[in-house]
Amino acid sequence: MRPELSEYPFDWMLWRSLISASRLKHGSEKEYQSALRYIPYFKGVVNTIYNMGSPGQKFLKIIETYVERIVTAKENNRKVAMTTFCFSPALLHAMDIVPVSLEPMTVLGSVMWKRGCLDYMDFCTDIGFSETGCSSQRGSMGAYLARAASEIDFIVIDSAGVCDTNSNAFSFAATYLNKPFYGLNYPATLIDDQTKHYHRDDYRNMITFLETHTGKKLDIDRLREVLNQHAKQDALIHEIEELQMLVPNPMPVTYNFLIYAGRFFFSGVSLYTELLEEMLEIVKQNAKQGKSGLTGGQEKLRAFFIYIDHYSLDLKLWTLLDQRGISHLGNILSRGFSAKAPYIKYVQNHGYQIDTSTLDSMIDSITEINARMPMVRSIRGPYDLPHMWLEESAALAKLLKADCCVYNGTPGCRNTWSNVKLIANDLEKHGFPTHIMYGDAFDERVESWEITSTRLEEFFTIRGLL
């Protein structure tokens, strides 16, 4: 790793960048424009976020707060848990534990810095981690392994049985850093009694682990507060999702990103609720006027991403979609599968319920929320079985009136690269032209954004979609 990168902690640098970004608009427009000249590699993402209007500014505040909590955790006597995007942070917030979710942190580095998180990725390889492991973890994980970031206290994840590459990365980190480790493990099925019992036992055992390592009991009032907030967030998201089905889609192209990123950072925390409220207002206004959420106002195409997005510098994927008049209908990260979700009856109607009546019912609720997190729900078993990836993707694409589907991931994803060709064929049979992107969502050395975007545009052109 370049020595200068070890000089300042990774998360501290992110935090300072975010503070600076959130202050840019404090002055006049002229001052803002002048300031952009001095941040040639940062202005792209800053502009993209500010162009989202008030939700953009709120989102900046959210990520700034998230990273600030990590950086200041020790001085505030709070324990820090390294975790993964597909683990609902709601429980950690309820237990006053500061989560460091590696993949979203890698995204921040990738979209904000020209250097991305590449040096940290390489550090992982330097110390023996497999270079073919998923870049989403390798990015920020490298900084924590290099001790070029805040110290974490323990690791808690939920990807065993769902994504080996993910589990393996965290289990490597636990060994390397000599930190306590807890991994939830999921069976291949979602809703049978045996699985439900297993979910409950494993999740409760994890709570015991967290209580042991924090020295604090789970606070029932706090958990109720978090779950109530979670239910409120769900309701707001469902309303947005309902409107997203309209043609044209009134939702601005970047809002999907804000929805899932917000969920990964602050599920159950009021900051995220406020963001959703603002977003809903804008989507509602657009819907009322029959307007597309795209900047150009004209929706030419509706694309459903069956896996994840591409997180190159400046959020270029979203800029491309916006410029070409393509609505982003969400991806595997977007949806939570609550029992009240507008799409739930199309995916065999097995959503989670939030019941805050007793401690037991609350733990059961959060257990089932977690069991439906992205990946955890739909790639735990064979992709073509009920409740799994194909059923979910085909149902959502149909419901959202998608014109096409796009797969993007990372070469480190053994799970989806083992069956993406199969699901692409199946989606084609369902009538959705489907494109497989071969790049790496977090590492442009695998394939530059220029090539990735050219291939994506070729797909739109050759299949007669645009």
Phi, psi at 463, each rounded to 5°: -85, 5
Q: Rounded CA gap, 378 and 415, in Å? A: 11
Residue 413 touching another protein (CB under 8 A) = yes
Residue 383 touching another protein (CB under 8 A) = yes
Residue 209 touching another protein (CB under 8 A) = no
Residue 165 touching another protein (CB under 8 A) = yes
Shortest Å distance, C-beta 3 to another protein: 22
Q: Rounded CA gap, 409 and 439, in Å? A: 7
User: 434: which strand partners?
Assistant: 405
Q: Which is nearer to another protein, 113 or 438 (CB)?
A: 438
Q: Which is nearer to another protein, 180 or 356 (CB)?
A: 180
For residue 301, give the H/E element and its range.
Answer: strand 301-305
Half-sphere exposure of 195 (CA within 13 A, CB side): 15
Q: Which stretch binds another protein (CB under 8 A): 41-49, 190-198, 255-263, 356-364?
A: 190-198
Shortest Å distance, C-beta 197 to another protein: 8
- Three-state secondary structure call for residue 418: coil
Q: Which of 5, 62, 156, 169 binds another protein (CB under 8 A)?
A: 169
Q: Which stretch binds another protein (CB under 8 A): 21-29, 311-319, 368-376, 414-422?
A: 414-422
Residue 174 touching another protein (CB under 8 A) = yes
Q: Which of 3, 40, 128, 464 binds another protein (CB under 8 A)?
A: 128
Q: Which DSSP category does 160 fall into?
A: E
Q: How many residues does the chain have?
A: 466
Residue 212 touching another protein (CB under 8 A) = no
Q: What angle do CA 311, 315, 319 make, to 5 degrees?
A: 130
Q: Which of 85, 129, 257, 432 binds another protein (CB under 8 A)?
A: 129
Residue 175 touching another protein (CB under 8 A) = yes
* Alpha carbon distances (Å) from 105 to 42, 74, 144, 167, 216: 16, 19, 11, 17, 27
Q: Rounded CA gap, 427 and 62, in Å? A: 36
Shortest Å distance, C-beta 370 to another protein: 16
Q: How would DSSP label each residue in 98-128? A: EEEEHHHHHHHHHHH-TTTTHHHHHHHHHTT
Residue 366 touching another protein (CB under 8 A) = no
Q: Which of 19, 188, 245, 247 binds another protein (CB under 8 A)?
A: 188
- Please report, as ranges, the residues that interact with another protein according to CB under 8 A: 127-134, 160-161, 163-165, 167-172, 174-176, 181-183, 185, 187-189, 194, 197-198, 201-202, 205, 381-384, 411-422, 438
